[in-house]
Amino acid sequence: MKAKYRSDFDFDGLVIFSSRCGELAVVWKSSAQPAHGSTYDLEIDIENFDIKIRPESLNTIFLRDGRQVFLGEIESIDEDEVACVRIAQDFILLVKLPGAAVPVGSLVDLSVGFRDVEIFCIGSV
């Protein structure tokens, strides 16, 4: 996913990015600090998330009540229970859904605490 670095968050280790999908407040895991206003190609990992099936078809990301929210569609689930969640044309999240009865094609709301979202810079844009 391509996103632009906006600023540091109020407490250590968290940074804010904006993308055409929405806003991210996440833990920066790359060794070099991001440069203000620069755009990066990012890989995102999430853990300890809540998942809900939702009725509307809007795919986006945003901040809600101290949590990062990803709205997307389940495109596939492999034999290891790893789901491919499409957020945008150029943004897919891979998440482990152990025991979750979420069928392919479901529209989902993934909500996760800021500290459980990690990003890795895989290149500058």
Per-residue pLDDT of the chain (125 residues; tens, 9 = 90+): 888 888 765 556 678 888 888 888 887 777 777 888 889 888 888 989 999 999 887 889 998 888 999 999 999 999 899 999 999 887 889 999 877 678 999 999 999 998 888 888 887 86
Q: Could you give the number of structural domains in the chain?
A: 1
Per-residue burial over 68-100, b = 16 or more CB atoms within 10 Å of its CB, e = otherwise = bbbbbebeebeeeeebbbebbeebebebebeee
Query: What local confidence, expressed as pLDDT, does residue 15 receive?
Result: 84
pTM of the model: 0.85
**Do residues 69 and 45 lie in contact, with contact meaning Cβ atoms separated by under 8 Å?**
no
The domain of 88 spans 2-124
Query: What local confidence, expressed as pLDDT, does residue 43 receive?
Result: 86
